Every structure is written in structure tokens, then in C-alpha cells.
């Protein structure tokens, strides 16, 4: 009998399946499509440099879930990079008929098995954010034996070594060049990042129509994000704390930042 669940490593021919897992409901939206183009390009570069950086789970032959990872050393946006550390960027199973069948666990265990075989990885670092959808990642990683770190939203799993903390980034220091403008960062690792940046641009324009806005791809200009301590949005030399989906609170914070005179 045909196996219902199958896991494949990412290769050039199945990039479309990886994108389908996260974006099946948004194909055809031109802004989202731009996010997908950026991600495809990034995936091709990662495949060429580091080999497979994702796994896709198929359920009844349909792409159902995915896990995406890369060596921390590949992350140009980080000021401090540890050697032999694998970062799990995201894992996602948005397919209702494939929930709670062990697929997420199998994807994660397949990554752990791969790095154990290679014998060069000290530990795995997992980005464990909570989007409010399905099982929150902190719970998922804890179930799988991952341990918390002092780094925000990051869990780890020891392989050949033990956890090494990263160097503290320090606080954002207001830069004279950041005055009277908004700087929005996005990246290519997630196709939602660019559409989110465009959404943020729209919200900033609503409350500060005359403000100059720069939207920067942080993987293309890593020095720009590094000098701002990886803040995703800086307005009038103020790092913005409120997540943009809390729309009213977010807009209030923008108004306050804009009103600061230097
Ligand atoms: C975490 C996630 C990948 C798990 O997917 P999955 O294929 O359903 O996971 P599994 O079947 O391997 O389940 C693992 C465990 O979690 C439990 N679980 C899964 N979904 C659950 C839910 N919604 N609520 C409570 N428990 C849940 C399972 O029962 C199982 O528990 P057990 O190990 O005690 O038996 C999925 O819930 C998900 O995508 N969550 C959102 C993650 C996210 O926000 N990603 C970022 C998007 S870019």
C-alpha cells in the first residue's frame, strides 16, 4: 500500500511544493508573489552553497508541511555567528487533514537525524515564536526535548556539544541618519516578510503621510540591520516595539515616535 506520509529534502524541482505549503491561499496576490520570488531566489542560493535547507512532508501526495533551516554562519544579518550551529527558521503544518498525525514531529526528527549523522553540529537553535495559530512553537519544541535559552524566542537542542550563548547585541543607539524617516526591514527566508513590510509601509503612511520611508532587504544590505541591532522598524530614530498586527497600538506608537524632535 502507498505510504500516506512521505518526507523529501528540498531540491530545485520541489521548491514550488515548499512554497505551496505556506502560500497556497495567497497565490495570485502580486505583493505576496514578490515575497515568493525573493524566497525562491534565496533558496536557490542556499541550495547551491549549503545543500538542502528544508524538508517537505507530503500527505496523500499533497505538500502538507515544511521545516526550513540553515547554518547560523549563513545568516549574514547576524553580527555574531556561531560555528557549527544549525538554525531552524520555521516549521509549519497548515494542512487540516494532516494535523496531529506525527508529521511535524517526523520533520523535526529527520533534521535531528541528519545533523547527528554529519557529526559536526554542536547544537540546534530553533526560532520558537507564537503566531497564535495551531500548536505554538515553544510547546512543540519543548515536547521534543528542546530547552529554553536566554535569547528571545530561541530554544536549543544539544547534538555534539552544549549550548553557547551569543554575544549581547546591545541597545539601538539613535542614528542621526534615522531622523525624520521610517526604515522597514524584511528578509527572503519567509515569503510573508515582504508583504508584511508593505503593510507596515501603508500603516506608517496613514499616520505620517509626509515621512520618508525606506524598505530594506536585510539579506542584501546586512550592515543596515546590524547597525540598528536587528530592529524590524525604526521611525524617527526610535525602534518600534508594538507588532504591526496590533494596529491601533502600533499606530499610536508611530505617532509618538514621529512627534519626537531632535
Ligand atoms: C507545531 C506543528 C508543526 C505541529 O504539527 P503536527 O504535524 O500537527 O504535529 P504532530 O502531529 O507531530 O504533533 C506533535 C504533538 O503536538 C500535539 N499537537 C499538535 N497540534 C496540536 C494542537 N493544535 N493543540 C494541542 N496539541 C497539538 C500532538 O497531539 C502531539 O502531541 P504528543 O507528542 O503528546 O502526542 C503545527 O501545529 C504548526 O504548524 N503550528 C504552528 C507553527 C507556527 O506558527 N509556525 C510558523 C509559521 S511560519
Please write the tens of the pLDDT for every residue from 13-43: 999 999 999 999 999 999 999 999 999 999 9
State the sign of the Cα–Cα–Cα–Cα dihedral 218, 224, 228, 233: negative
Q: Report which protein residue has its CA nearest ligand 1's atom 33.
A: 143
Q: How many domains does the chain have?
A: 2
Q: Is the C-beta atom of 91 inside 6 A of ligand 1?
A: yes
- Choosing from 110, 112, 130, 134 the residue with most ligand 1 atoms within 8 A of its CB, the one to mutate for a pocket test is 134
For the stretch 20-23, contacts whose Cβ atoms lie closer than 8 Å and that sit 24 or more positions apart, written own/partner, are 20/63, 21/56, 21/63, 21/64, 21/65, 21/66, 21/92, 21/94, 21/95, 22/66, 22/92, 22/94, 22/190, 22/191, 22/192, 23/191
Q: Note whether residue 166 is domain-resident.
A: no
Identify the domain containing residue 135 by its residue range. 5-158
- The mean pLDDT value for 195-203 works out to 98
- 106 CA closest ligand 1 atom index: 12
Whether residues 150 and 213 fall in one domain: no
Q: Note whether residue 169 is domain-resident.
A: no
Q: Is the C-beta atom of 145 inside 6 A of ligand 1?
A: no
Q: Order of strands, edge to edge, in the sheet holding 212-217?
A: 212-217, 181-186, 233-235, 238-239
Rounded to whole angstroms, the Cα distance separating 200 from 204 reads: 6
Whether residues 41 and 101 fall in one domain: yes
pLDDT digit string (tens) for 238-247?
A: 999 999 999 9
Q: Report which protein residue has its CA nearest ligand 1's atom 4.
A: 104
Q: Report which protein residue has its CA nearest ligand 1's atom 25.
A: 135
Local structure of 68: helix, strand or coil: strand
Q: Is the C-beta atom of 7 inside 6 A of ligand 1?
A: no
pTM score, whole prediction: 0.96
Residue 152 is predicted with a pLDDT of 87
Residue 127 is predicted with a pLDDT of 98
Q: Is the C-beta atom of 109 inside 6 A of ligand 1?
A: no
Whether residues 73 and 197 fall in one domain: no
Q: Report which protein residue has its CA nearest ligand 1's atom 28.
A: 100
The answer to whether 89 and 107 have CB atoms below 8 angstroms apart is: no
Beta bridge partners of 71: 86
- The mean pLDDT value for 42-51 works out to 98
Residue 2 is predicted with a pLDDT of 60
Confidence of residue 1 (pLDDT cuts 50, 70, 90): low
SS3 content of the chain, % helix, strand, coil (to 5): 35, 20, 40
Beta bridge partners of 238: 235
Which of 123, 158, 193 is where one domain is finished?
Answer: 158
Q: What's the mean per-residue pLDDT of the chain?
A: 97
Whether residues 148 and 199 fall in one domain: no
pLDDT digit string (tens) for 65-86?
A: 999 999 999 999 999 999 999 9
Whether residues 108 and 17 fall in one domain: yes
Instruction: Compute the residue count for the chain.
Output: 262
Residue 262 is predicted with a pLDDT of 81
pLDDT digit string (tens) for 85-142?
A: 999 999 999 999 999 999 999 999 999 999 999 999 999 999 998 899 999 999 999 9
User: In this structure, what CATH number is given to the domain that contains residue 121?
Assistant: 3.40.630.30
Q: Report which protein residue has its CA nearest ligand 1's atom 45.
A: 92
Q: Note whether residue 38 is domain-resident.
A: yes
Residue 236 is predicted with a pLDDT of 98
Asked if the model's pLDDT at residue 234 lies above 80, the reply is: yes
- Choosing from 100, 128, 196 the residue with most ligand 1 atoms within 8 A of its CB, the one to mutate for a pocket test is 100
User: What percentage of the chain exceeds 70 in pLDDT?
Assistant: 99
Residue listed under C-alpha cell 537542542: 157
Amino acid at each position: 500500500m502507498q505510504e500516506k506520509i512521505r518526507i523529501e529534502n528540498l531540491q530545485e524541482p520541489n521548491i514550488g511544493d515548499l512554497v505551496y505549503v505556506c502560500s497556497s491561499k495567497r497565490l495570485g496576490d502580486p505583493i505576496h508573489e514578490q515575497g515568493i520570488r525573493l524566497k525562491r531566489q534565496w533558496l536557490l542560493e542556499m541550495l547551491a552553497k549549503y545543500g538542502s535547507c528544508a524538508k517537505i512532508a507530503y500527505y496523500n501526495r499533497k505538500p502538507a508541511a515544511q521545516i526550513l533551516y540553515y547554518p547560523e554562519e549563513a545568516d549574514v544579518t547576524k553580527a555574531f555567528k556561531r560555528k557549527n550551529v544549525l538554525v531552524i527558521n520555521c516549521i509549519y503544518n497548515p494542512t487540516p487533514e494532516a494535523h496531529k498525525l506525527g508529521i511535524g514531529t517526523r520533520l523535526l526528527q529527520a533534521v535531528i537525524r541528519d545533523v547527528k549523522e554529519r557529526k559536526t553540529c554542536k547544537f540546534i537553535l530553533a526560532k520558537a515564536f507564537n503566531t497564535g495559530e495551531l500548536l505554538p512553537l515553544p510547546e512543540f519544541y519543548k515536547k521534543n526535548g528542546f530547552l529554553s535559552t536566554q535569547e528571545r524566542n530561541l530554544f536549543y537542542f544539544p547534538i555534539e556539544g552544549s549550548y553557547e550563548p551569543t554575544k549581547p547585541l546591545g541597545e539601538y543607539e539613535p542614528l542621526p541618519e534615522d531622523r525624520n524617516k521610517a526604515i522597514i526591514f524584511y528578509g527572503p527566508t519567509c515569503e510573508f516578510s515582504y508583504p508584511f513590510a508593505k503593510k507596515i509601509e501603508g500603516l506608517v503612511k496613514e499616520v505620517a503621510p509626509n515621512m520618508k520611508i525606506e524598505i530594506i532587504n536585510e539579506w542584501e544590505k546586512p550592515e543596515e540591520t546590524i547597525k540598528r541591532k536587528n530592529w524590524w522598524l525604526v521611525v524617527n530614530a526610535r525602534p518600534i516595539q508594538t507588532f504591526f498586527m496590533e494596529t491601533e497600538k502600533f499606530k499610536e506608537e508611530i505617532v509618538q515616535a514621529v512627534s519626537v524632535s531632535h
